[in-house]
Homo-oligomer: A and B are copies of this chain.
Amino acid sequence: MSITLHDVARLAGVSIKTVSNVVHDSPGIRPETRARVLAAIEELGYRPNLTARGLRSGRTGAIGLVIPDLRNAYFAELAGAVMTAAHARGLYVLIEQISGYDKASELAVLRGPRMQLVDGILHSVLTLDDDDVGMLDLPTPLVLLGDRIFDGPTDHVTMPNVAGSRAATEHLLGLGCRRILALGAHPGEVAGSAALRLRGYGEALSAAGVPVHPELVIAVQDWQRFDGAAAMRAVIASGLEFDGIVAFNDPLALGALRVVLEAGLRVPEDVAIIGFDDIDETRYSLPTLSTIDPGRDEIAEIAVGWLVERIGAPRGSIAPREHETRVRLVQRESTTRS
């Protein structure tokens, strides 16, 4: 069996209360007592039992991170950032992936048994939307990430979707592009990144007085390289003319890049391409990919901070807050015409 407070207390010749006080640096302990206890702890190699502490205190010291898929580079990088932010506050992170692409799976994870042992949840919303905010009234403190729910019952941290894709589009317009594809639309979707990024695209064109051609808005199923490549094959086969691509995320852009090059077009001379998310890979493609940096570390830092505040505060005492990170356009070779 492992060493308990009692063992330490016995060796030090004090009560367990005193040992506990020493462990917690509580004030009002005579230096010599403290030294004796510390020595006993050292000698026995005592380590507090976190489970027992959790049972007693009602806290586990863990936060849950609910994300769609760790295999997706964006979320893997986000998870890394969240872990860093959490560790800085002495918390650990329990990552859960949403198993299916539907509301039932998403709610199942949030309500599931695993999220029982966390003090709070960071949730990157996948399919839920404003109609479902009622379902988010969990007993556990919650902070939302992503772009599907804005008027939820709790804090929300997001990236500048509209401003980002607007900046991306303006960047291509500045290069002289006039027939810019918007790659990654989800037709019929109202909430969600696809809708917001499409809005930014439209705003940029309108502001520049460039007509918005519906045929330049390219729908895709998913946001993987595969989808970007497939969609671009169809575009090229159809003979549609274009001179720039604003892709709604980096994998889409990389998939499109590949097909565009295969078709014998030059990037950025014939077609300028820009992505969104600034995943690591964009630095190493050929050509390197311009993109929008979503401020992942900033998102993680704010979200964890807010969650910690909520965990420490009485339920309902904090009004929902909203934070959007700053836009930063990262220009690389795919949009740099010499």
* Residues A94 and B97 in contact in the complex (CB < 8 Å), given A80-B69, A262-B286: no
- Assess the A92–B92 pair: CB atoms within 8 A: no
* Residues A47 and B116 in contact in the complex (CB < 8 Å), given A70-B83, A94-B94: yes
A214 interface residue (CB < 8 Å to B):
no
A55 interface residue (CB < 8 Å to B):
yes
Q: A284 contacts which of B113, B116, B229 (Cβ < 8 Å)? A: B229
Assembly CA distance A109 to B284 (angstroms): 31
Q: Which residues of B contact A102 (CB under 8 A)?
A: none
- Assess the B54–A80 pair: CB atoms within 8 A: no
- Assess the A226–B60 pair: CB atoms within 8 A: no
Q: Mark A78-90, 1 if CB is under 8 A from B, else 0.
A: 0110010000000
- Assess the B281–A281 pair: CB atoms within 8 A: yes
Q: Which residues of B contact A257 (CB under 8 A)?
A: 286
Determine the residue in chain B with the shortest Cβ distance to A288. Answer: B258
A254 interface residue (CB < 8 Å to B):
yes
- Assess the B258–A50 pair: CB atoms within 8 A: no
Q: Which residues of B contact A83 (CB under 8 A)?
A: 70, 95, 97
Q: List 25 A-B contacts (CB under 8 A).
A: A2-B139, A51-B51, A51-B55, A51-B60, A52-B55, A54-B55, A55-B55, A70-B70, A70-B80, A71-B80, A71-B280, A73-B76, A76-B76, A83-B97, A93-B95, A95-B95, A225-B283, A225-B284, A226-B283, A251-B284, A254-B284, A255-B284, A258-B284, A258-B285, A286-B286
Question: Footprint of B on A, CB under 8 Å?
Answer: 2, 47, 49-52, 54-55, 60, 69-71, 73, 76-77, 79-80, 83, 92-97, 113-114, 116-117, 139, 225-226, 229, 251, 254-255, 257-258, 261-262, 280-281, 283-286
Query: With A71-B76, A79-B95 given, can you name 18 additional A-B contacts, CB distance below 8 Å?
Result: A47-B116, A49-B55, A49-B116, A50-B117, A51-B55, A52-B55, A70-B80, A73-B73, A80-B97, A83-B97, A92-B94, A92-B114, A93-B94, A93-B95, A94-B94, A95-B95, A226-B284, A262-B286
